[in-house]
Structure 1
Amino acid sequence: MSEFTIRFWGVRGSIPCPGPATQRYGGNTPCIEVRCGDRLIILDAGTGLRELGNTLLAQGDDIDADILLTHCHYDHVAGLPFFAPFYQPQHRFRLWAGNLLPDFRLKAVMQMMMSEPLFPIGIETFQAVIDYRDFTAGQTIVLGEVTVRTIALRHPGGATGYRIDYAGRSVAYLTDNEGRREDHDAALVALTRDADLVIYDTTYTEDEIDAKKGWGHSTWRDGMRLADAAGVKTFCLFHHAPEHDDDTMDAILAEARAVRPGTIAAMEQAVIRL
Structure 2
Amino acid sequence: MKDDFYLRFWGVRGSCASPGVDTLIYGGNTSCVEVRAGDRLLILDAGTGLIPLGTNLRELDGALQADLLLSHIHYDHIMGLPFFSPAYHPDSQLRIWAGNCNGGIEAAMHRFVQPPFFPVPLKGMSAQFSFHDFISGDTLALSGEVQVRTTALNHPDGATGYRIDYDGRSICYITDTEHPKEGLDDKIVTLIQDADIVIYDATYNDDDYPAHLGWGHSTWEVGLALCEKANAGTLVVFHHAPERTDAELRALDQVIHLRRPGSVVAREGMVLKP
Q: With structure 1 as the length reference, what TM-score do the two structures score?
A: 0.96
Alpha-carbon distance in structure 1 between the residues aligned to 2:61 and 2:138: 34
**Structure 1 residue aligned with 2:268:** 268
Amino acid at match of 1:194: D
Alignment gaps of 5+ in structure 1: none
Alpha-carbon distance in structure 2 between the residues aligned to 1:60 and 1:165: 24
**Structure 2 residue aligned with 1:37:** 38
**Structure 2 residue aligned with 1:7:** 8
Q: CA RMSD in A?
A: 1.1
Provide the secondary structure at the position in 2 that maps to 1:207: coil
Identity of aligned residues (%): 50
Most deviating of 261-270 and 69-78: 261-270
The alpha-carbon deviation at position 148 of structure 1 amounts to 0.3
Aligned positions, number: 272
Q: With structure 2 as the length reference, what TM-score do the two structures score?
A: 0.96
Provide the secondary structure at the position in 1 that maps to 2:141: strand
The alpha-carbon deviation at position 43 of structure 1 amounts to 0.3
**Structure 1 residue aligned with 2:257:** 257
Contact 1:180 1:222 (8 Å CA) reproduced? no
Q: Does 1:22 align with 2:23?
A: yes
Alpha-carbon distance in structure 1 between the residues aligned to 2:223 and 2:3: 29
Alpha-carbon distance in structure 2 between the residues aligned to 1:164 and 1:146: 7
Most deviating of 57-66 and 36-45: 57-66
**Structure 2 residue aligned with 1:58:** 59
The alpha-carbon deviation at position 82 of structure 1 amounts to 0.3
Q: Does 1:223 align with 2:223?
A: yes
Provide the secondary structure at the position in 1 that maps to 2:58: helix
Amino acid at match of 2:17: P
Most deviating of 120-129 and 68-77: 120-129
Query: Per the alignment, do residues 241 and 195 of structure 1 end up closer, same or farther by CA in structure 2, a change over 3 Å counting?
Result: same
Aligned residue runs from structure 1 range 91-106, under 5 A:
91-100=92-101, 103-106=102-105
Alignment gaps of 5+ in structure 2: none
Amino acid at match of 1:232: A
Provide the secondary structure at the position in 1 that maps to 2:26: coil
Alpha-carbon distance in structure 1 between the residues aligned to 2:114 and 2:146: 35
The alpha-carbon deviation at position 61 of structure 1 amounts to 4.5
Amino acid at match of 2:172: A
> Which structure 1 residue ranges, 4+ long, deviate > 6 Å from structure 2?
none
